[in-house]
Amino acid sequence: MQMLRRGITVKTSYGVKPEMSCVVGAVKGKVPVLFDGGIRRGTDVFKALALGAQAVLIGRPAVYGLAAKGEYGVKRVIEMLRDELELTMALSGCPTLNHISRKHVRTKHERPRAML
């Protein structure tokens, strides 16, 4: 976790973690919380936003796009993430980003036993 002058970055190396909602709960909306690390798909963006992040940061996917196709590759990576996020929102009944909420994600412990 990095404390910035105007916000907090929750940084992991392996994807969205439910613990992020603890950080969001602790800051009580006083500063923005950004999620960084392991965002690879639009569903990862959706999960981070559902757990309370105001935004996500991407590192390696942009670098991979750059290495593969230069500027066009970086644009495509961002387009793919956006398309996947929009599809996930549509499938979850969220017409806007503001509709994404904590009720849209379940942690391992919140799963009904019948689904195990």
Ligand X SMILES: Cc1cc2nc3c(=O)[nH]c(=O)nc-3n(C[C@H](O)[C@H](O)[C@H](O)COP(=O)(O)O)c2cc1C
CB 35 within 8 A of CB 16: yes
Minimal distance in Å, beta carbon 10 to ligand X? 10
Minimal distance in Å, beta carbon 99 to ligand X? 25
Residues that bind ligand X (CB under 6 A): 11, 36-39, 58-61, 63
Minimal distance in Å, beta carbon 35 to ligand X? 10
Distances (CA, A) of 5 to 1, 8, 29: 13, 8, 15
Nearer to ligand X among residue 75 and residue 106 (C-beta): 75
Nearer to ligand X among residue 24 and residue 36 (C-beta): 36
